[in-house]
A and B are shown apart, each in its own frame.
Chain A
């Protein structure tokens, strides 16, 4: 990183545009709100995008197209097929490539006159300040609480604006944190939800256009901050309900007692954000329930043998429609009140998509007195991998 930092600080402000650039940005230049002065501000601006996924896609595309002269892209992930429904920077041929590299190729093609710097790394407390320090604005397009608190705290410590956007299914939030006298993320939410109270995978999912809209709002706010034009979302929380097609706005106040940006600051350096969010361990945040399991291959051979097994599918009805193992559907949430439908004398194999929800179901049933109940290890995904590839993965 040392060499790129040197290159960054060595760059002198640009004071003119080439004729090609004047043509490219003509629809900006003829607007008095942007003009040559504004376009040069954009060209001299350095914006760091945290995440190149759903929110990062419109952010990267619009900021590159607008002529933001230096874009930094932080992501460690690889493009997969499930990304393409919303991460419009990527094409089918990018599947399997690193997101930062694929995004760099796409954005360079869109605008060869800007500099795109990639950081193929996982943002954490040890690298955030170093990554952020040479950029003017940080845009948060992440998808998890630990990184959101990390981005907030690093921005406050360095005095950088943090353009925030967040989505859930068909609802979005956007605002600008980290401005002088403005609130920060901790003013809005002093603490993250404990892992157990966050909606599960079954209730997850996102309408593909939603990050497009929320990410575009973040791009607009970023450009306004660079231009110094208009009223930005500082002190206002914008809520967007895509189903009702409603925008609402709530007042967002700076909390005088905020531990991060208040007068009596108690946080002076980056902390362990996984611990703060109640998540321990890198890849296994959910406590292991330690329930008895059966592998897909074992299950297949027992079914082939004609064993009397009751297959309990604890997913949601709309997931059953995608694919199923011809099991009996009782969604996890309905299990407590439908438990009487199950025969405890029969052997029960519970499954879900990945094995997580069904582990909870097995745990619940064992506590309810069921003795012969096993969890299908790895769920329907593992069944597809190990037994029947004709079963689609989702």
Chain B
């Protein structure tokens, strides 16, 4: 089943600068697996070393947070949209996580 994965700006440089990707997947986990196979560099930004989705990266199936569905096992259907929404803090050129205090 074809699902669209929307790649957020901070992660696009690890995904060939693409804004989105079409992957064939039966679950959200499959879709993310397919995406990180296509763009290997994305993997460490989405998953921890032991394969868990990172806690500062939220994944939505259409408009619902997968943490409140069946997480990575949430089934997908044709035409679904998966959004990856990482936390962003800033900001200007100052590295968003660097202590520049309030700007």
- The 16 sampled A-B contact pairs (Cβ below 8 Å) are A144-B94, A166-B90, A167-B90, A168-B88, A168-B96, A189-B56, A189-B58, A193-B87, A195-B98, A198-B89, A198-B96, A204-B92, A274-B99, A279-B98, A285-B99, A286-B98
> Across the two chains, which residue of chain A brings its CB closest to B6?
A248
Q: A250-B63, A251-B64 are in contact. Are A279 and B97 (CB under 8 A)?
A: yes
Residues 37 to 83 of chain B near chain A (Cβ within 8 Å): 44-45, 54-56, 58, 60, 63-65, 67-68, 83
A-B contact count (CB 8 A): 163
User: Does A385 have its Cβ within 8 Å of any Cβ on chain B?
Assistant: no
User: Does A391 have its Cβ within 8 Å of any Cβ on chain B?
Assistant: no
CB-contact partner of B95 in A86, A169, A200, under 8 A = A200
Task: Decide: B89 and A145 in contact? CB cutoff 8 A.
Answer: yes
Could you say which residues of chain A place their CB within 8 Å of the CB of B55? 189-191
Contacts A142-B89, A189-B58, A204-B91 known; list 4 others, CB within 8 Å. A142-B103, A173-B85, A199-B10, A239-B85
Question: At the interface, is chain A mostly helix, strand, loop or mixed?
Answer: loop
Q: A198-B97, A251-B63 are in contact. Are A143 and B9 (CB under 8 A)?
A: no
As a 0/1 sequence over residues 182 to 202 of chain A, the CB contacts with chain B under 8 angstroms (1 = contact) are 000000111111010111110
Distance, CA A251 to CA B83, complexed state (A): 12
User: Does A215 have its Cβ within 8 Å of any Cβ on chain B?
Assistant: no
CB-contact partner of B45 in A53, A170, A189, A197, under 8 A = A197
Q: A145-B89, A168-B96, A248-B83 are in contact. Are A203 and B10 (CB under 8 A)?
A: yes
**How large, as a class, is the contact surface on chain B?**
35 or more
User: Does A253 have its Cβ within 8 Å of any Cβ on chain B?
Assistant: yes
Distance, CA A283 to CA B94, complexed state (A): 12
